A and B are shown apart, each in its own frame.
Chain A
Amino acid sequence: MATDMQQTITRIADIIINELKLEDVTPETFDADLDLVDEIGIDSMDLATIALVLRDEYGIRIDEDDYPKLTTVRIIAEYISTKLAEDK
């Protein structure tokens, strides 16, 4: 289970790096607890784009009201995990 979570975290980090065109960081070195809004400067439109890519990747629906809660890669990974469990 921990390995699954780590894989999800790495994949989300990869998506964020790709969408935001971040440099000098890899999915493996991305700090999963970094605050995406305060420390990376991500805005709501970037987050919406990332949410759409995650929707494609994991086949989940992300409620608009849930956006503000998705502030770190770890939180996003946990959110996805919960959504996937709900859909089973």
Chain B
Amino acid sequence: MYKFSDIIAEPAIRAGFEKVRKYFFLRESTYDMSNRCNIRCEGCYYFQGDKQFAEENLNESDWKQLMEAEKERGITFVVLAGAEPSLVQNLCKTCYDVIPLGCIASNGLNVLPKEIDYRIHISVWGNDKTSHEIRKAKNMLARQMENYQGDERAVWVYTFTPVNIDEAREVTKLLAANGQQITFNMFSAPVGYNGHLKHSPETLAHTRQVMSELLTEFPETVLFSPYNIVAHTHEQGLHDLFSCSYPRMNPSTDIGLGRSFRQYRTDLKWDRAAACCVPDTDCDDCRHYAAGSAVVTARMYRHATDPQTFSAWLDYVDTYLAVWVKGYQKSENLCKELIEPPKETEN
């Protein structure tokens, strides 16, 4: 067993640790902004379960009050999601005016004004043919790229499903040619979903291979690391691998996400029993990029076993920050190998 002081004595590791620890102050919560969307995708997280039926609160003053209360209880980073936040831009701006660090998850078909200076995650589910079949919207990538041309807020989030794995190359190539960046997500089945988008061991392995190739071929375009690839394409889901720290799976309210995380619905209410970044996802099948960003990051202690494992964790956190925090620049990955996640008992 290495001492932690020995692990971080290596200059590159120390530099990486000092770089990411400046962001340890980030404390997130997520907010459904509207119960409407301008498209309807198969397997959409939002339109599963009860939250889609919550009443919309469109009152700016109520949102301002909520954000001020959130800030007061220590929230420093907001994720504005479901169903489509760009349909309520005034509310997004209200949030931004109170808590200026955050991210908006959007389908990218409406442009969010520059004055809302959050990171913007633009969802992409394959090439435009597949996207049309699953999302029922034409020319999505072309429209997204045009809408966010040269916009440093934007990062594309490619959700791998069993039917679009090889299309990731085409999409990545297009974004690279256009000077834009991409990160990877895994389709994670909503509770009760058994459709054709659910991953199997074979499609996980295939996805792992394609992700690895793209990371090697497009290092300036792809915001990911070898350890991200392992964590998100493992046959075990994130909860099995890392023990999810969101309230939905974590009863502790003492510290960390279990203490501070809330997921507000459009009526500005939240429910601890459903509080995670992707409510209504089947936890056993969760490989979602947003979940990993919190769940893997929270497990620093168990990764401090040796320089390679800790480097892999640093790469993951560096990736998470580059994907979620506007202006954060990703460093070169320190661990090039696909290493197995450590078990809690190994440390």
Interface residues of A (CB under 8 A from B): 37, 41-49, 51-53, 55-56, 61-64, 67-69, 71
Given pairs A49-B24, A67-B301, A69-B254, 18 additional interface contacts (CB within 8 A): A41-B74, A42-B255, A43-B25, A43-B255, A43-B256, A45-B24, A45-B298, A48-B298, A48-B301, A49-B21, A55-B3, A55-B4, A62-B301, A64-B243, A64-B301, A64-B344, A67-B256, A68-B255
- Contact residues in A for B257 (Cβ distance below 8 Å): 44
The closest CB in chain A to the CB of B25 belongs to A43
The CA of A64 and the CA of B258, in the complex, are separated in Å by 14
Q: Is the CB of B243 within 8 A of A47?
A: no
Instruction: Annotate B1-15 by CB proximity to A: 1 below 8 A, 0 otherwise.
Output: 001110000000000
Cα–Cα, bound, A61→B255 (Å): 19
Within 8 Å CB of A69, what residues of B?
254
- Decide if B344 touches A47 in the complex (CB within 8 Å): no
A70 to chain B, nearest CB (A): 9
B21 A68 Cβ-Cβ under 8 A: no
Q: Is the interface of A mostly helix, strand, loop or mixed?
A: helix
Contact of B347 among A41, A46, A61, A68 (CB under 8 A): A61
A11 to chain B, nearest CB (A): 15
Inter-chain contact B301/A53, CB cutoff 8 Å: no
Q: CB-CB < 8 A to B24: which residues of A?
A: 43, 45-46, 49
User: Are B302 and A43 closer than 8 Å at their CB atoms?
Assistant: no
Q: Give the interface centre of A44, A61, A62 by most chain B CB atoms within 10 Å.
A: A44
Closest to A62 in B: B301
List of A residues within 8 angstroms of B65 by Cβ: none
Asked if B4 and A44 sit within 8 Å, CB to CB, the answer is no
8 contacts between A and B (CB under 8 A): A45-B297, A48-B300, A61-B347, A64-B243, A64-B301, A67-B254, A67-B301, A68-B252
